[in-house]
Amino acid sequence: MMDRMARDRSSERGGAEQGLRIWSLLASAALALVLPPTGAAWSQDKMMATVGRIGNVDELVTMDKVCGAKPIRVALVDGFGGNSWRRITRAEYEDEAKKCPNIKEVLYADGQNNPQKTISDIQSFVAQGVEAIVVFPDAGPAMLPAIRAAHKAGVAIVAYTASPGGKPGVDYLDFIAPNTPSDGSTWAKWVAKSLNGQGKVVFLGGTPGNLQSQAELEGVKKVFADYPKIELLGGRPVDTNWDPAETQKVVAGLLTRYPEIDAIISDYGGGSVGGIRAFINAKHPLVPWAANDANEFACLWQENKAANPNYQMMTVSSRTWLVRVALRKAVAKAEGVEDPEPSIVNQPIVEDSTDPKLPPKCDSSLPPDAIFSSQLPPDKLKAVFAQ
């Protein structure tokens, strides 16, 4: 399953301040994904830093713009590589790296969910003289000393999706992530439109107290503030641990507790399939559902739409392609080439059953957690699961 789970320096001061606040939320949210609450004082203030900028996918560049000419080696250090999301991400990284003829080696290391091995992988690549490293620091700040040491050694090292803490631009080159509060706003706007501004909504989050779901909730609540007839049941994310089986149990309980649920927002499309099954098992009509994309999520909509006339779905990208942005940032630095891309990326809607231009994508020949917002062409996406 998919792993669970800023600012333009030349922008006006107000925009920079807003970006700083959002980056702080994003960094803290990413940290929460890899470190369960332990009482440690990892506040948002400690995570603040000035990094690139917030931008849109249409501002991303192609790899040929940053390849340079100097022969280099690149490496992806994955804190954990054992699920479909990570396998797709690795394939995207390798696909992007092969676009530069001057990249002589495309290296990879799987930390196997062992922080010490991930640290050792980083240190090994630095000792080998690898010029550009991208890292998914699952263990959060436990990775920071090794990442900082690589940066001080002159390696172009970029963290993505999960924050190691510290300060981008000081402790490492940059931090690449989706604009999480914006995802919440996108889901909420679609739900408000689907409900004609009136109804009861549940927001399914991840692990207890995680800041990713909290950041998304901020975007949801900001939109719903303009719709007084929409009620967010419970007023907070409902914990699911980003697990389909747990989600099914949780949603079954919600259907017993709340006689009326008019829409669902979920921050994990792969987990949403469990919630959909809970509706089906309870013989409850399916309702508008917003999440991020996963093959089985779309397939379940196709299987059940005829019997549930009010059942619609919308997804934002599961953003496996962010590794490409991180790689371009690292390669550009190693080559002495400017990369103008945003560091925090607003994600577009990729599926919307109410929009003929964005139909849900289901391919029963691929595993349930295949992701079609990937930038891999179909043949390469299928090759990932054929291994």
Q: At CB < 8 A and 24+ separation, what contacts does 298-304 make?
A: 298/351, 298/360, 298/361, 298/362, 298/372, 299/362, 299/364, 299/368, 300/273, 300/276, 301/353, 301/360, 301/362, 302/360, 302/362, 304/276, 304/280
pLDDT (0 to 100) of residue 11: 34
User: Would 383 be classed as within a structural domain?
Assistant: no
- Does 78 map to a domain? yes
pLDDT digits (tens, 9 = 90+) for 65-96: 999 999 999 999 998 887 788 899 999 999 99
Domain containing 128 — which CATH number?
3.40.50.2300
What is the structure's pLDDT at 258? 95
Low-confidence ranges of the chain (pLDDT < 70): 1-52, 210-211
Regarding whether 209 and 104 lie in a shared domain, the answer is no
Kindly state whether residue 150 falls inside one of the protein's structural domains: yes
Domain-located, residue 382: no
pLDDT at 385: 85
109 within a domain of the structure (yes/no): yes
Q: At what angle do helices 144-152 and 115-127 cross, to 10 degrees?
A: 10
pTM metric for this prediction: 0.76
Among candidate residues 262, 213, 257, 260, the one with its CA nearest the CA of residue 237 = 213
pLDDT digits (tens, 9 = 90+) for 17-68: 344 344 444 444 443 333 322 222 222 223 223 356 889 999 999 999 999 9
**Could you tell me if 139 and 227 lie in one domain?**
no
Q: Are residues 206 and 152 in the same domain?
A: no
Q: What is the pLDDT of residue 51?
A: 57
Does one domain contain both 169 and 217?
Answer: no
Verify that 198 and 151 share a domain, yes or no.
no
In a domain, residue 215? The reply is yes
| Domain-embedded: residue 378 | no
Same domain, 132 and 18: yes
Shared-domain flag, residues 170 and 191: no
Which residue type does 36 have? Answer: P
Number of domains comprising the chain: 2
Q: Which range marks the domain in which residue 21 is found?
A: 13-176+320-346
Domain-located, residue 374: no
Those residues whose C-beta lies under 8 Å from the C-beta of residue 216, and which sit 6 or more positions away, are: 180, 181, 183, 184, 187, 203, 205, 237, 267
pLDDT value of position 81: 87
Dihedral angle over CA of 320, 18, 241, 359, nearest 10? -50
Q: Are residues 156 and 286 in the same domain?
A: no
